[in-house]
Structure 1
Amino acid sequence: MKLYRFLSADDTSGFCHKVTEALNKGWALHGDPTYAYDHANGVMRCGQAVVKEVEGTYSPDMKLGEQ
């Protein structure tokens, strides 16, 4: 099955570390990153979709970050 996650965070090195961790756990980049201003919090935010092929059957109870 194919899993999908959308990673997001403030525009800091923490976001890059989050994406790097996912890549090192076997996730692959999917599409282009996004970058937008969060008016409510006054910060820039980044986002990146990632996908991963795994064995098994999908369940909404899965913790995708642990796959």
Structure 2
Amino acid sequence: MKVPPDDLPVYRVLTGPDDAKFCRRVSEALALGYVLYGSPSVAFNGENVIVAQAVVWPSIDT
């Protein structure tokens, strides 16, 4: 497949609290066919650890 399903963009940055819900969102993107792009970023907002992970559709990686 040359484009992501469901009209999703080829580049996405997933963000959220560092919890199981965030991990499931990243896992779902990988199951759709996205690949990780770079390392995750982690920050602390004074209350929670916030994580960001970029994913790309493989067709733009070539």
TM-score over 0.5 for the alignment?
A: yes
TM-score by length of 2: 0.75
Asked whether 1:34 is paired with 2:41, we answer yes
Match of residue 45 from structure 1? 50
Flag structure 2 segments of 5+ consecutive residues without an equivalent.
Answer: 4-8
Q: Distance in 1 between matches of 2:54 and 2:18?
A: 15
> For 1:20-55, what per-residue CA distance to the aligned partner results, in whole angstroms no more than 9, with x for missing partners?
00000011000000110013xx1110110000038x
Shift of 1:3: 1.3
Identity of aligned residues (%): 37
Normalising by structure 1, report the TM-score: 0.69
- Please identify the structure whose Cα radius of gyration is greater: 1
- Greater fraction helix: 2
Q: Secondary structure at the match of 1:47?
A: strand
Q: Which residue of 1 aligns with 2:23?
A: 16
Uncovered stretches (5+) of structure 1, i.e. residues with no partner = 55-67
More strand by share: 1
Taking only aligned residues, the RMSD between alpha carbons, in angstroms, comes to 2.0
- Runs of 4+ residues over 3 Å off in structure 1: none
Amino acid at match of 2:28: E
**Paired residue secondary structure (1:33):** strand
